[in-house]
């Protein structure tokens, strides 16, 4: 079966002309025309650069050469590209009109023209040219002996100007190499904003020379040095990516308050000796870096002038590190509990005519605007910052949806109607490990709401947040990739590009190619499974991981205390990923069988059922020497039991009562074991 | 068969007492006593630290907890350990008498005592205690449901004080994360010297603030910042590891001379107008960073005062970065060609009564001694620095052997007899990809040469050099590990620990456990194979990689020009490793069969032969869509052909002439394809 498909594929690519359907480009370009003929990649392949580009194109073109050489094994003669017009007769000519700026609304377009003997990339800016090089790498085809580019013309540009990925370096610290390889991944799919969540309850991650208590007391030694930050910004800029830092205030403040408890809002109630004087209050003297996940009460005191003095001084140190125009100040999930119970703050509210905690928070946030403006920064914050007095310059980051009890992306519409620019993140929470279609079908541009052109223009784009309560350097890549490539396509490509079958096919190749950038989303699986199996080689454990997905949404670690920030994330749920590969194939096989009950279609379904029966038996043997396999056995057994019965059912040999069979299948809708669910449940159920 | 072995194993570990043979400790401890009983690892497992240790033990103990938690999945309650006596009733008690110093001859001993309810590590220094923690991790056993430590007493200390790994960051730049994960690997096998080769013909890798031309012109942008260097030294010190930097002079100087051509030795011969005046000479004005591998002529000019001014000034900037006592100045492979052809240098030799280039080099090297002494550094150099006038303070790094036309380690004996301290690297060149036994059987202490105790004491130990002409960040780990663990054992354990079967068994587990440190020696294989197979899942390609080894010694890239420093190292030879796993098993199966021609033994041999026949057929299919598989087909075919015939031979059904059969087998002694050799050749040959 595998071979039949395979030969089919080979025969297609050997035929006269490559078709669009064969191409695994992502994001899909705005315009693409294919013609007959090939440009064959040879050892003499060379790149030449003309025009007036920024020097980042030399880095980018050199990296392009190395990646193409790594794929083709051609041993290119050309080494490092360091200047203009070094090889005038090179086969690949890149011309850039001017130096690109790392800012919103920059011209990122490019024209790519492949003929049988020459390739040209023309772009206004080097940033557009870098996008063209990524497209060219994705164009690469091969037959049995050669690698080639199909003759083609592509003209391309992005639909939205903000195509972001957020990485939370606070919950689990993500070292420099993790950030860099993900910046490479972003560039490969033409994303251009890296939002770096640097401060939260669980840690302060920016080296501070003037406020060193923050790293001494609130980082566990895990922080980015100022040099590393500058280095990452340079690395990002070399890839056309803007870095937007975030210091989350006034909530999510446990780390800040561990170092500076004097600006916290919490008070202790003191029963003073003389009861007549009533209660007195004392500012809390001690906070601790949070080890759990969740929403916590430690909050900065908006009534304390010292709060603003400190923040202003912190921004004076942090802002100059980041050349970009935007600074994210968080502002989310402040429940104001410590505000309510602090009489000094209540008094402050009254005095300033602030009707509620939201207005108080706006008061607080508005104090930050000039602190940032002083450094030419525009304030950005999660949607909670948007209240009636909020500055119209602020960018509203829309994140709430059904889980928070509001319509998805409601704040985005409110923002643009209220005159704010906005970025959508609701629907793009990749840390919640939903399947790719959940993100791909979310468009920043609302479908059924009438917006003026002006309002539409305020929708800057979207951003995928990768929160790291449940991700470590070893697992974060598999939570980001490949699904983020689909979000990148939603934000770059024409809104009509929505076919899920095409998406899945292309994503498979894109995912594989992302590995060459050092991303570990595929290869880390093997090492983690080896730990679980206790170094026993096992196809069975891999098979099980290919039909299981980690619990979705907030259902894993739902109380926030089971997994602390130092708990092991080396478990089966950490190996499993959304879009479990065998589950997708099985569910497809079931569809095929239900639409045509041919013998072949039936045998494919049977092959899965038999595989799972064998898997279960092997896992039992494996578990004799692998304690970490034990918790998986009930799961495997349920799949085994239903598989055995379904083999009989499909051959009309089952003697089981209908209700008992249903129960067998419903047992596979389990979420009780090992923090994973069986992703084949839906397919199994349809077989009834 | 696999299952039979497996059950045997399970039954052993379930029985009453763990035996020494079951333990996979490496390096093997000096003294170990096992008793009945187990200490079972539970969620409540905690660590307490007492005494007067260096703070590095807090980092080490916290890392220990995370690693043990990652293996056992217990979700330990204890998070970060930051101070003394935090948990007085903890099950693991670590006591250190004093703070350890990062220097030679430091006390690295420890006593580890495991009882059923308590574990204690007693050590003079925290460095000894860190070693004890590594041993404890290696002691971990399990049955089907629990992880436990066997009741035991271990007292341990190193045999040699210098147990080093050298990494060449010059040929292929190795980023900070590569260095860090290898420092973790070193600590896991109790190595204590990291020799960092930072300068060579192919690049200068140290950020220089006062001599910025070196990084601007001779690093391709790939260098360690001074902050990164300090950070790595701290990281190493936290693991008990001394960092010894190397700036290789006066040869291997292409990078230095690219920035400072004025101190080079090469001259151009000018034919001046008037022939009577004879030839005139002009200092060469231009050098280039070298892109090939090999020995090159660019050499510093020892007759030029500017050479010493510059070097002195460079050492003034570099030495303060490295707190350790030793500074390696290279000194190897200077052939003196440019000296011979430079009349000014010849004149200088005469004037200073230097009989030959060796004496001239000694003159040069001796000028460096005070430059280093000024910074309290002792000079170390490759063995070429040892000539009659060389300072007795210098440490001689013994590296030459058969390949260089001298008896192995001859310079080591000469050094100690001449009054020098010395470190052995001949026999430990892991970059040459020889099998582990080639290194394990090399002992720094010469066997058949009478040495006084004083002379013996001058043998500091050994060091494994990892040159990187043929290694990238993606492949270097598989060239270092796991073989370096065997060298670590040679340098730590009693000289009587030499059993190869035990070594191989233990190495298998150690290799697996090294993965938890982020090392990629096992998991990188999958990604590279995926590139070669063009994203086709293939057991066949993996099977072939498990019987092939990269060409050994200097035979791959023998001219030094086929692979340039920017050539793809993503090929099949880069995936393959020494000690090819299936080759070891097959060769063992052949031995078993030849010593007992039972049906079972024969069937095991048959299973391999059949596997390779199937593999060949699958590889042919695979190659239809994978150009990088094409070069492997001839190799696979040879193995297929011999396998088919041997199946007949062993069943006495072969009709092939003896000479033809021999030829079939000799064809497997191939080194012509894909830069690899078939590691099963020896086994196949013995079947005749």
Residues in chain A with CB shorter than 8 Å from the CB of B72 are: 568, 627-628
* Cβ atoms of B214 and B207 closer than 8 Å: no
Residue B131 has pLDDT above 60, yes or no: yes
Q: Within the 536-555 window of chain B, which residues sit less than 8 Å (CB to CB) from chain A?
A: 536
Confirm or reject contact between A370 and chain B (CB < 8 A). Answer: no
Q: Are A323 and A229 in contact (CB under 8 A)?
A: no
Percent of chain A residues past pLDDT 70, beyond the cut:
96
The predicted structure's pLDDT at residue A86:
98
The pLDDT of residue A8 is above 70: no
pLDDT recorded at residue B5 = 43
Q: What's the CA gap between B179 and B223, in Å, rounded?
A: 13
More confident residue, A552 or B17: A552
Residue of A nearest to B141 (CA): A625
- Rounded to whole angstroms, the Cα distance separating B361 from A325 reads 57
pLDDT category at A9 given cuts 50, 70, 90 is: very low
- Residue B624 to residue A144, Cβ atoms within 8 A: yes
Three-class secondary structure assignment of A385-412:
HCCCCCCCCCEEEECCCHHHCCCCCHHH
Q: Which residues in chain B are closer than 8 Å to A623, comparing Cβ atoms?
A: 144
Q: Half-sphere exposure of B356 toward its Cβ, with a 13 Å CA cutoff?
A: 5
Question: What value does the mean pLDDT take over residues B42-47?
Answer: 97
Q: For residue A234, what are the contacts with CB-CB under 8 A and spacing of at least 6?
A: none
Q: What is the DSSP letter of B427?
A: T
Per residue in B384-426, pLDDT tens?
999 888 899 999 999 999 999 999 989 999 999 999 999 999 9
Residue among A144, A80, A152 nearest A120 (CA): A152
Question: Any chain A CB within 8 A of the CB of B571?
Answer: yes
Residue numbers of A between 19 and 58 with CB closer than 8 Å to B: none
Q: Is A73 on the interface with B (CB under 8 A)?
A: yes
Query: Which residues on adjacent β-strands are paired with residue B397?
Result: B382, B423
Q: What angle do CA B597, B603, B605 make, to 5 degrees?
A: 80
B305 — pLDDT class (breaks 50, 70, 90)? very high
Nearest chain B Cα to A292, which residue? B79
- Separation CA A174–CA A565 (nearest Å): 13
Q: Do B506 and B29 touch, CB atoms closer than 8 A?
A: no
User: What percentage of residues in chain A have a pLDDT greater than 90?
Assistant: 92
Distance of alpha carbon A37 from its chain centroid, rounded?
37
Q: Which of B75, B76, B225 sits opposite A227 (nearest CB)?
A: B225
pLDDT band, residue A259 (cuts 50/70/90): very high
Q: Which residue of B has its CA nearest to A79?
A: B566
Residues 6 or more apart in contact with residue B285 via CB below 8 angstroms? B261
Residues of B in contact with A142 (CB under 8 A): 534, 625-627
Which tens digit of pLDDT belongs to each residue from B235-287? 999 999 999 999 999 999 999 999 999 999 998 876 655 545 556 777 777 99
- Cβ of A523 within 8 Å of Cβ of B524? The answer is yes
- C-beta atoms of A523 and B523 within 8 A: yes
Share above pLDDT 70 across residues of chain B, in percent, rounded to a whole number: 96
Asked if residues B387 and B419 have their Cβ atoms less than 8 Å apart, the reply is no
Q: What is the mean pLDDT of residues A431-435?
A: 98
Measured in degrees and rounded to the nearest 5, phi and psi for residue A457 equal: -65, -20
Per the prediction, chain A carries an average pLDDT of 95
Interface contact A75-B509, CB threshold 8 A: no
Tell me: ipTM over 0.90.
yes
Q: Tell me the C-alpha distance between B344 and B21, whole Å.
A: 66
Q: B224: number of CA atoms within 13 Å, CB side?
A: 29
Q: A101-127: b or e for each residue (b if 16 or more CB lie within 10 Å)?
A: ebebebbbbbbbbbbeeebebbbbbbb
Largest Cα span, chain B = 96
Average pLDDT along chain B: 95
A147·B80 Cβ contact <8 A: no
- pLDDT score, position A12: 44
Give residue B277's pLDDT: 53
Reported as a single tens digit per residue, the pLDDT across A333-376 is 998 899 999 999 999 999 999 999 999 999 999 999 999 999 99
State the burial class of residue B326 (Cβ atoms within 10 Å of its Cβ: 0-12, 13-18, 19+): buried
A75/B562 CB distance under 8 A: yes
Q: Per-residue pLDDT tens for A26-59?
A: 999 999 999 999 999 999 999 999 999 999 999 9
Interface residue B80 vs chain A (CB under 8 A): yes
β pairing state of A326-330 and A242-249: parallel
**What confidence score (pLDDT) does residue B501 get?**
96
**pLDDT tier at A5, thresholds 50, 70, 90:** very low
Query: Judged by CB atoms within 8 Å, which residues 612-651 of A form the interface with B?
Result: 621, 623-628, 630
B225 touches chain A (CB under 8 A): yes
pLDDT at residue B273, as a whole number:
55
Which range, of A550-564, B8-22, B85-99, averages the lowest pLDDT? Answer: B8-22
Question: Comparing C-alpha atoms, which of A584, A432, A480 is closest to residue A188?
Answer: A480
- How much is the pLDDT for A284? 74
Average pLDDT, stretch A187-204?
A: 98
pLDDT at A277: 53
Distance from CA of residue B503 to its chain's centroid? 17
Size of interface A-B (CB pairs under 8 A): 166
Q: What is the reported pTM?
A: 0.96
Convert the pLDDT of each residue in B572-605 to its tens digit. 999 999 999 999 999 999 999 999 999 999 999 9
For the stretch A392-422, pLDDT in tens is: 999 999 999 999 999 998 999 999 999 999 9
Q: What is the pLDDT of residue A274?
A: 53
């Amino acid at each position: 079966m595998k071979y039949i498909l395979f030969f089919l594929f080979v025969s297609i690519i050997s035929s006269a002309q490559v078709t669009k359907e064969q191409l695994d480009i992502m994001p899909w370009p705005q315009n693409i025309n294919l013609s007959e003929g090939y440009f064959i990649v040879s050892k003499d392949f060379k790149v030449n650069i003309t025009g007036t580009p920024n020097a980042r194109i030399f880095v980018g073109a050199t990296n392009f050469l190395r990646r193409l050489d790594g794929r083709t094994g051609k041993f290119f003669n050309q080494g490092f590209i360091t200047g203009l017009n070094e090889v005038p007769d090179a086969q690949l000519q890149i011309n850039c009109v001017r130096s690109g700026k790392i800012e919103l609304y920059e011209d990122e377009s490019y024209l790519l023209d492949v003929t049988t003997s020459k390739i040209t990339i023309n772009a206004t800016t080097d940033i557009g040219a870098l996008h063209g090089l990524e497209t060219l790498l994705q164009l690469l085809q091969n037959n049995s002996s050669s690698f080639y580019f199909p003759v083609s013309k592509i003209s391309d540009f992005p639909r939205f100007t903000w195509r972001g990925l957020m990485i939370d370096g606070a919950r689990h610290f993500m070292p420099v190499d993790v950030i860099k390889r993900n910046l490479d991944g972003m560039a490969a799919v033409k994303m251009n904003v890296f939002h770096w969540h640097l401060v939260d309850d669980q840690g302060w991650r920016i080296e501070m020379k003037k406020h060193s208590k923050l790293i001494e007391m609130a980082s566990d030694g895990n922080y980015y040095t100022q040099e590393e930050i500058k280095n990452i910004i340079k690395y990002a800029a070399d890839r056309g990516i803007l870095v937007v830092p975030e210091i989350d205030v006034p909530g999510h403040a446990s780390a800040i308050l561990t170092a500076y408890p004097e600006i916290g809002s919490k008070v202790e109630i003191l029963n003073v000796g003389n009861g007549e004087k009533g209660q007195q209050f004392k500012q809390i003297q001690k906070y601790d870096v949070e080890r759990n996940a969740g929403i916590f009460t430690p909050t900065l005191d908006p009534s304390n002038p010292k709060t603003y003095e400190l923040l202003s001084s912190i921004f004076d140190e942090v802002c100059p590190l980041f050349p970009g125009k935007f600074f994210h100040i968080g502002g989310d999930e402040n429940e104001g509990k410590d505000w309510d119970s602090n009489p000094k703050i209540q008094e402050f509210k009254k005095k300033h005519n602030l009707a509620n905690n939201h207005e108080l928070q706006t008061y607080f946030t508005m104090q930050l605007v000039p602190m940032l403006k002083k450094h030419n920064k525009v304030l950005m914050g999660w949607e909670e910052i948007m209240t009636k007095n909020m500055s119209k310059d602020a960018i509203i980051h829309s994140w709430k949806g059904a889980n928070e009890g509001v319509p998805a992306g409601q704040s985005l519409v409110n923002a643009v109607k209220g005159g704010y620019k906005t970025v959508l993140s609701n629907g793009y929470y990749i840390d919640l490990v939903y399947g790719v279609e959940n993100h791909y079908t979310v468009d920043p541009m609302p479908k059924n709401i009438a917006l003026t052109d002006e309002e539409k223009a305020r929708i800057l784009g979207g951003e995928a947040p990768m929160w790291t309560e449940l991700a470590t350097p070893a697992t974060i890549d598999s939570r980001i990739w490949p699904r983020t490539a689909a979000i990148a396509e939603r934000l770059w490509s024409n809104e009509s590009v929505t076919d899920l079958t095409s998406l899945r096919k292309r994503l498979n190749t894109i995912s594989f190619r992302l590995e060459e950038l050092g991303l570990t989303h595929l290869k880390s699986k093997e090492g983690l499974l080896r730990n679980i199996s206790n170094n026993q080689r096992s196809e069975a454990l891999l098979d099980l991981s290919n039909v299981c997905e980690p619990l979705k949404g907030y259902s894993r670690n739902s109380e926030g205390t089971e997994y602390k920030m130092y708990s092991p994330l080396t478990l089966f749920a950490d190996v499993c990923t959304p879009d479990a590969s065998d589950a997708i194939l099985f569910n497809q096989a079931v569809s095929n069988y239900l639409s045509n009950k041919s013998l072949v279609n039936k045998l494919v379904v049977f092959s899965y059922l038999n595989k799972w029966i064998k898997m279960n038996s092997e896992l039992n043997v494996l578990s004799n020497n692998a304690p970490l396999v034990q918790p998986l056995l009930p799961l495997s057994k349920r799949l085994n039991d239903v598989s055995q019965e379904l083999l009989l059912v499909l051959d009309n040999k089952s003697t089981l009562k209908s209700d008992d069979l249903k129960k067998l299948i419903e047992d596979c809708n389990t979420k009780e074991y090992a923090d994973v669910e069986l992703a084949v449940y839906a397919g199994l159920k349809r077989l009834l």
